[in-house]
Amino acid sequence: MQGGRTVSITPLPGDGARRTVRLRVVPDGEGPDLGQATAAARAFLTALGVDLARPGMRDTPGRMARAYAELVGPQDFDLTTFPNDAGYDELVVVRDIPVQSVCEHHMLPFVGVAHVGYLPGDRILGLSKFARVVEHHARRPQVQERLTRQIADWLQEHLVPRGVGVVIDAEHSCMSLRGVRAGGARTTTSALLGALRDDSRTRAEFLALARH
């Protein structure tokens, strides 16, 4: 599955839907080869005419390799869900989740925030896990439109709520630092599923909360 694969499901003691469930999520593929990445960064900077012999630059290829490995390397995490014992049926919205990713067209960062909401079904999600899900999909070469939809689809698949909404607002350095150099310009994308797409009042409520 693009965006990470679930390798194990560890249910805690309980009865059916009335139990805590943890899903261990790990990224697809192998980890970075920092030695090869450092050598490639050194060759790349040299080809651009950067003097790596001057003070302060000798260790730059290694730092560059480690920085990009962090930017494009999603981390393992546990997705923990709980039974919706209270029968809560109103919107849950987590706002201003940091988004840090890399534009796949120029390999330059884009940074912003995500607002994620859902209408609970039989299960609810630990609130900190929303940030984990956002980070998991952001830490790879991305385009913002696809990132927004991946987060929504992933939550719909693994949480099975009555509806999911994701709004991302970000500034792209490939637009602010190069080309048109439109510093301060921001891009907003949204993905709505289930009741948040089909019910106009629920959709309006979510978007109002996300943009508050």
Catalytic-role residue among 156, 171, 174, 205? 174
Annotated catalytic, 172? yes
Q: Which residue of the set 136, 142, 144, 150 is catalytic?
A: 144
Of these residues, 105, 115, 150, 212, which one is catalytic? 105
Active-site hit among 103, 135, 142, 158: 103
Active site (annotated) includes residue 103 = yes
Q: What are phi and psi of 108, to 5 degrees?
A: -110, 150
CA R_g for the chain: 20
**Residue 106 annotated among the catalytic residues of the structure:** yes
104 included as an active-site residue: yes
Give the active site residue among 115, 137, 158, 172.
172
Kindly state the DSSP code that residue 48 receives in the 8-state scheme: T
Catalytic residue among 100, 106, 171, 205: 106
- How far is it between the farthest Cα atoms of the chain? 65
Active-site residue (options: 36, 70, 75, 104): 104
Angle, helix 60-71 to helix 34-47, in steps of 10 degrees? 120
Known catalytic residue: 174? yes
Active site annotation includes 136: no
Q: Is 121 helix (H, G, I), strand (E, B) or coil?
A: coil
Residues with a catalytic annotation lie at 103-106, 144, 172, 174
